[in-house]
Amino acid sequence: MSQVDGIDNLVASRLVLKTSLENSRALASAFDSTGQRLEGMKQRLPSLEAAVRHVPRQKCTFVAIREHIDRAIGPAAAVLKVYDIIQELHKSLLSHPCSDLSTYLLMVKQLEESLKFLADNCRLAIQWLEAILEFLEDNAVHDDLYILNLNKSLSILQELQATDKHARLGGGILCAALDKLEIEFKQILVENCICVVLDSFSSSIRNQASIAPSPLPVDVIQKLQAIVERLDADNRLEKCISTYVEARCLNTMRSFQALDLDYLNHSFNEFDDVQDVECYVDQWCKHLQLAVKQVFETEYKLCSDVFEKNGPEVWMDCFAKIVTQSGILSFLRFGKKITECKNDPVKLMKLLDIFAMLDNLRVDFNRLFGGSACNEIQTMTRDLLKGVVNGACEIFWELPIQVELQRRSSPPLDGSVPRLVSFVTDYCNHLLGDDYRPLLTQILTIQQSWKQEKYQEELVTNQIYYIIKQIGLNLDAWSKAHYDLTLSYLFMTNNHCHFCRLKGTNLGGLMGDSWLKAHEQYRDYYMTLYLRESWGKIFASLSQESRILSSPTRGFVGDLVKKRLKSFNEEFDHMYQKQSSWVVPCEDLRLKMCKLVVQAYVPVYRSYLQDYGFQAETDASPSRHVKYTTQGLEAMLSSLFQPKLSKSGGTKHNRLIGKIKDMVTDNFRLALMAV
């Protein structure tokens, strides 16, 4: 049993050995072929080593730049999304903003934000890609296709980054949208430009408060504000202001067309005399007040509303441009021309009117034109005010001298009140009135303050006293210039009566009751002298006949009566003819004097005719001696001193005031120029 097991083991061992031998032979054969292959590999190893040498390094390089690539992917993806949004906004902005302004403004804002976001993300992506290229160059990686793709990506990103810049250039999507907003801004202004209705004849202009409700509806102002805000954000505020100024100036000029302001551009040579343009001065005062209180006040309010968010410096500058281009400087230059005209009393009144108007506008001027943008307006206003104050004071101080220089002129030949006297008293009454005296006092106070002198309350009254004193001296000189003593008495009667009639006036109140009573006494005194020296002497010859005709010789009496009547007729005709051209302007005085003459001397004539009429009637030609009946004589005496009627039916006295500026002020002006 054990023997059988041994044989089996031997057989198995032989098989194992046989198999091992065969495997050894096969392995030897394999070793032979492997050795050959190894020898070939050994021979190729240097070149293979060179080829494989960079493979681990390249693998490390791409691992290193993976972080840069990951960082560039985020911005690049955002760029693609934003670019799609920009394209959609571009299509939407092709419409006109008038259809839906708020939506259009929102889209413009979104476009700007998208463009900025696009540019920012492009910049980030470009930075990372440039870092990749720089890394590859530093590590000597030569993959042309890879590098080419990177450069293409950079080029695309750089082009997209410039989208914001191109969009703002002419023809760009943002520029076109902003251009449409500017057009819409102007269109809104044009459609809502309503001219201010100006009433140059309004009596309440002077005291009218500056009330300036916004001339545009709230929703319109909100639209303008929104457009201004958007345009300002894109550095287009100047263009916006320019458009606004142009539109509003056009509106103000249309408002001014109703006032006919052509006189503002007249050359100075036409304005040598204030009286030549007096009506223009009155118009100018009204028009400037209308311009400031209604037109410029409206523009001031609207500017502050539309450009409120841009700050006061912006809207004040805008307002200054509007008022300057609308003609405020032309108004001020015209006023300055008036101050440079020739000096005369009428000019003083006009300067006081101008000062009153400027004083009324002082608060408005300070508020509207007080900013630095209105420096030119402020300078011209100060120059105008200085010219008004100095010009008015100069004329006022020279008035007594002007009156004195008229002393060399001739008195009126009709014995009436000289135009100068009427003018000066009327002039002083105006200066002392409630309208002018406060203004004159204010002007004198201002000039005294400029001279650093204290104003004295008596300046105005003392000057008026001095003017009236010069008038009195003139009257004394003029009364002596009359060669006819009777006319001199009538002349003084008229002038003292003129002063008496100042009772109840401003001048009369200043001069006082004693002064007025003195002139009443002088009036009656000279009237008595006049009556005695004129008609009294003529009728005296008739009243003395009773003594002469006491002789019993009837023929002698008849001849004497005829001679007396003839002499009386001749003297009466001469006196009446001479005095028929004399004038008593005051109707009450004229009636009183005629009544006194009639009452004093007609009875004498009637008595004479009754006593000796029979002798005269027996004469063959009685009309040669009894020329006038008592009724005829009374009518003739009652018709004396009548002012001459003008063609228009008025009287010389009534026309006096209208002629004063044409005649008296000429002499006044010449006198002042001589001074």
DSSP 621-656: SGGGT----HHHHHHHHHTTTPPPBPTTS-BHHHHH
Q: Do residue 154 and residue 192 come from a single domain?
A: no
Q: Nearest-CA neighbor of 521 among 501, 500, 542?
A: 500
Q: Do residue 353 and residue 437 come from a single domain?
A: no
Calculated CA dihedral for residues 223, 225, 231, 237, nearest 10 degrees? 140
Q: Is 552 helix (H, G, I), strand (E, B) or coil?
A: coil
Residue 467 lies inside a defined structural domain of this protein: yes
Q: Do residue 464 and residue 394 come from a single domain?
A: no
Phi, psi of 645, deg, nearest 5: -75, 140
Q: Could you tell me what percentage of the chain is helix, strand and coil, using 3-state DSSP and rounding each to the nearest 5?
A: 80, 0, 20
Tokens representing 257 are: 């067309």
Instruction: Choose the final residue of a domain: 407, 438, 469.
Output: 407
Q: Do residue 393 and residue 430 come from a single domain?
A: no
Instruction: Choose the final residue of a domain: 381, 407, 433.
Output: 407
Going 12 to 15 to 19 to 25, the CA torsion angle's sign is positive
**pLDDT confidence of residue 352:** 95
Q: Do residue 224 and residue 103 come from a single domain?
A: no
Higher pLDDT, 131 or 487: 487
**pLDDT confidence of residue 90:** 62
Higher pLDDT, 108 or 602: 602
DSSP track, 396-426 = HHHHHHHHHHGGGSPPPTT----HHHHHHHH
Tokens representing 118 are: 């696009």
Give the distance from CA 367 to its chain's centroid: 13
Instruction: Choose the final residue of a domain: 374, 407, 440.
Output: 407
Residue 262 lies inside a defined structural domain of this protein: yes
Domain CATH for 160 = 1.20.58
Q: Are 287 and 261 in contact (CB under 8 A)?
A: yes
CA distance 270 to 265: 11
pLDDT category, 144, cuts 50, 70, 90? low
* Residue that is written with structure tokens 């198995």 in the block: 12
In angstroms, the first-to-last Cα distance of the chain is 180
Express each pLDDT in 507-525 by its tens digit: 999 999 999 999 999 999 9
Q: Nearest-CA neighbor of 128 among 67, 62, 82, 80?
A: 67
**pLDDT confidence of residue 56:** 43
396: domain range? 179-198+214-407
Residue 30 lies inside a defined structural domain of this protein: no
Express each pLDDT in 449-478 by its tens digit: 998 888 787 889 999 999 999 999 999 999
Q: Nearest-CA neighbor of 446 among 395, 381, 365, 389?
A: 389
Beta bridge partners of 651: 645
Residue 3 lies inside a defined structural domain of this protein: no
DSSP track, 490-546 = HHHHHHHHHHHTTTTSHHHHHH-HHHHHHHHHHHHHHHHHHHIIIIIHHHHHHHTHH
Buried b (16+ CB within 10 A) or exposed e, 507-526: bbebbeeebbeebeebbeeb
**pLDDT confidence of residue 91:** 63
Query: What's the structural domain count of the chain?
Result: 3
Residue 185 lies inside a defined structural domain of this protein: yes
Q: Do residue 124 and residue 232 come from a single domain?
A: no
CA distance 522 to 283: 44
Q: Do residue 183 and residue 100 come from a single domain?
A: no
Domain CATH for 288 = 1.20.1280.170
Q: Is 217 helix (H, G, I), strand (E, B) or coil?
A: coil
Residue 649 lies inside a defined structural domain of this protein: no
Q: Do residue 558 and residue 438 come from a single domain?
A: yes
**pLDDT confidence of residue 666:** 53
Tokens representing 60 are: 């490390």
CA distance 383 to 335: 10
Among the ranges given (175-184, 400-409, 652-661), the one the predictor scored with the smallest mean pLDDT: 652-661
The pLDDT mean for the chain works out to 77
Q: Nearest-CA neighbor of 320 among 367, 366, 371, 363?
A: 371
List of residues 6+ apart from 106 with CB closer than 8 A:
none
Q: Do residue 114 and residue 164 come from a single domain?
A: yes
Q: Do residue 381 and residue 418 come from a single domain?
A: no
**pLDDT confidence of residue 129:** 65
**pLDDT confidence of residue 73:** 56
DSSP state of 270: G
Q: Summarize the confidence of residues 575-598 as an average pLDDT.
A: 92
Using CB atoms within 10 Å of the CB of residue 70, give its burial: 0 to 12 exposed, 13 to 18 middle, 19+ buried: exposed
List of residues 6+ apart from 83 with CB closer than 8 A:
118, 160, 163
**pLDDT confidence of residue 160:** 60
Tokens representing 111 are: 């476009």
Tokens representing 64 are: 């290193």
Q: Do residue 500 and residue 366 come from a single domain?
A: no
Residue 341 lies inside a defined structural domain of this protein: yes
Q: Do residue 560 and residue 604 come from a single domain?
A: yes
Residue 400 lies inside a defined structural domain of this protein: yes
For residue 546, what are the CA distances in angstroms to 127, 259, 356, 549, 618?
Answer: 144, 79, 72, 5, 20
Higher pLDDT, 213 or 209: 213
Q: Are 482 and 488 in contact (CB under 8 A)?
A: yes
List of residues 6+ apart from 228 with CB closer than 8 A:
185, 237, 240, 306, 307, 309, 310
